[in-house]
Structure 1
Amino acid sequence: MKKYHPGATTIANPGIAPAACYQDTADILVTFEGPYSAYDVATRPAPYQPQAWEAAYDPQRIWHLVYDVPDATALAKVVARSKANNAGYVYVTDDVLPNPWDRLPPYQAGQVTAAKGSGGATPATPAKPTASQVKATGLRLSWTSAAYPGVVGYDIYQGSVKIGTEANFTPSATVFDVAGLSPATAYTFTVKARDKAGKVSAAGQALTVTTAAASASAPTVPGTPVVSDVGPTSVKLTWAAATDADSGDYVAFYDVYRNGVRELSLPGTLTGVTLGGLTPNTSYGFTVRARHTTDRASAQTATVSATTTNPAPITNPTAAVSNGNAVYTATFNLPYTQRHVFIDTDANYQTGWSVNQIGAEFMIENNTLFQKTGASTDWSWSQVPGVSPLVSTDNGRYQWSVPLSVLTGSGNVQKVVFHGTDGSRNDYLPAVTLTTR
């Protein structure tokens, strides 16, 4: 069908509840076709329940067909039920077998109104939450999903204040971590379910829990940091985790110090960091301390020293001709914010922008090609349209390619200078010569 009518909307009705593997066989799947008695909650002990994959599926790709629906009151129930079942389309009729689809029902107008409205039903109430990992300033709430089909999330309340939401991705226990509490204090929590239409259930049974008393002692000292991956402007630090002296609190932060000054604070779940912004060929001392949520902190670790490397700023410059293009390549060993290739197309230092003993008529800045305009002493350039010269970057190795037809000039020899800057330093290489023809 799609082959001959690529713009058509396809609808598949397997006749039974399809398996998840049918999801991509059509634009819309009919996942229920049957009587009111099999669909409505009140008419049978075990009403129709969608499969788990349907609850997370796009509702605009699910259609339910329900027949033998006696009146407008039952119609409203079916429409509400279809929304809870995550069906984006529903058709309801009072007609019966053998062909319940051969006429419109007398309440057709009401069907449209009900479909546009909320349907009147709200999600089922979630179960009472339970608390675990109860500390002085936080805890974890968990609860079992309620009425999983159609429920897209939960609202968590601390007293009468909503403190967060949690998505409903699986028909199993859902969790929410609460922080910012006070030690030895009683709190009450409830959970409400929310469906795709925005309807919210009543609050589930309340849970009251008292946080632990404040920790009487600081966390242990973390392991001495280990230095690795030392570069010209960065080092990596890792350390063994600190532990709690008692159960009243937990390690919430690690403070990392550079030369005695706190550089940053990390979540207590992390035991490593790469520090950047360092200066090449410079020695640094690093320490780490652990800290509770109540700011009770351990002593700092022993100091570990590291000296950043001092590589040549720019290395391995090349310029060559390939398939009618000028190809420029160099390795930039520092984290420059701008990388330039200055191109002197007539090998005459007296024309163009004067830089490192060449006169550049063109300049590549990162991934943009510019042509010199105005006086040679003015920093004035115009972007060359339609050219994106940057070909690749691999571990600091940059390559650019520009059609020779774009690089207009009077000679067949180019002089090329590579340059890198971070705003505070400028590094140039001596000119590289390229014979273009």
Structure 2
Amino acid sequence: MITTVTPFAPNATGCLSAVQGQQIAVASYINPLSDPAAWDRLIDYDVSKMPILVANVLNGPDSTVDSSWQGVIQRASSAGKTVLGYVRTGYLGVSDQIFQTRLGSGNLADWTAQIEEDVDRWYKLYGDSIGGIFFDEGWPECGVNNEYVDLYKYINAYTKRAHPGAYTVLNPGSPMASCFEDTMDTLLTFEQSYDSYINSYTPNDWTPNDPRKLWHTVYNVSESSVSEVVKLAKERGAGFLHLTDDRLPNPYDTLPADSYIQCMMDGVDGGSLSNADAAAWELDGAAGAVTDLTVVASDYSWAKLSWAAASNVQGYHVYADGRLVVSVPSSMTEVTIGSLASGTSYTIYVSAVGGGGRLGSSSNQVTVATKQLPGGKTVTNYKSSPQENSTVIEADVLVPYSSVRLYIWDSIECDFDEDPGWGVNFNVDDYVCTHYMVDGSTLYRYDGVLPKGSTASPWSWEAIDTVNLNIWGYTYTWTLPLGASTVDTTKFVVQAQGYNPMINVFEPDPSDYDCEGSSMCTTPDLLKWCDHAVSYLFRDDDLNYHSTEVIEDSLYSTQSGDCWGDLTQGCGVFIQGQNCSISGNDMWNDYQNIRTIGGCKKCGSYQRKDGCRVTIDYVYQCDNHQDLP
């Protein structure tokens, strides 16, 4: 590759003087809630030098508006920035990782459907504040008969037709063949560390006509090395540059210091974007009619369709209830459409796209009836099977999510002074305390420290081991290197979020427990009295304890169980509810669970599945019916 080298001279600060035309583009995956000041800076920097920001809510747009992201996206757009929405393309499912869509498919048509769905969702949720799309995980090979590059061109054209003015970026993070030059407005052809950029950089084997075609991202760059990298990027023909001093695993969730950014800004001259129009449909003859449209399969949120190929076709449009839901190239005659509502019927048809974009006759119509979610739940059939040194946890996840995490919890609420943890809420003001998390195939242990004067735990986890994660159909199966000998793994949370309503599924259900009671529960000897009372229950399976009793043919509520105290004050353990009966063994077990699962130190209760409640509470004038041993 032949490059033209522009002379550089350090200014008084040690930063380079301006480079004509070069601009800064930022993969700004910074949570607006955790660092609003970073977004204030990104928005305020000179738009001619930093015109592009990338928004990434949850590896894409998610399914509902995120108000914090909406705020910064709108402000950035109003300031003249081009905000690109992040969309995964999964290397089209053909890389060594064999990535699958959220619906578990590696089919090219299904990847096309998911990509286009995410593109449209960015604009649906955030409107004209979105200035284009950042297509991540781009596959850099042309493919047999240009199969892959032509698919990216098709997706690019779809994006620009559906959303006029959209600026598009394709990111393989590695060199690309020259066949890709006209796929999208900009190609991100380097995404590695400073060390790799200096010592093992591999260029494309072609030179674009316009340097704005290329974007280089380099992480782990110290501030003292910014000038060096800016110079190299210019020499290597990159019209866009993103530098950060952050590191893997996520080098894009923080923003370098202002002095760092200013050094970059001083080294580039700025410019404008080069935004191409959508490619025109070929001027060919009319398309034939689509026939034999069939529903191959359907489920809670998706349907797989197939049809017979039509003649003279440039693409196929698939419609659900009259709305375009996906457009696929002419080589594809089957596709899976997602994001359908459960328990709902849809009328589907397909039209072929002919010369000049004119649609042929519609296919036959078919009806898709999605399955109803059981009890409206998206996560079901969850259980834990602990062994001494390992645990298998399973859960059925019935609809697609962008993220499914597993937490191991040990108590309701955290002791932040002695053993801080990460809270997962089961009610607005109630949470369980977790110390282990599985994200993907990595096991993490919480290592955050609550800052002095703060009530918000930092999101801070240490990777400690790997986990075997198997996904088969609906079923997620985690095999953890934690077992009964070290950790109680019977208490867990499955957390699913992104592209469907977020859900936290708890086992056991912590909302069945509370640690409320009399204001006298702080009595010094109460715990000792409670333990003594439960120890003297009739320990068998007979239903000896009842919430009501008949006195002279009348039914009265009673507190049946046991108590112990000093004859004036004490602790009672008893059953409550309408017509409730319980054995001593069951009451004893429930008492232990109130302590271990509910985390109740003194008073508390457990709402049983039979509608009855076992309660531990302060009582006055306890009638001790057992003698001390």
Greater per-residue helix proportion: 2
Give the number of the structure whose alpha-carbon radius of gyration is greater.
Answer: 1
TM-score by length of 2: 0.31
| Relative contact order higher in (CA < 8 Å, ≥ 6 apart) | 2
Greater per-residue strand proportion: 1
TM-score by length of 1: 0.43
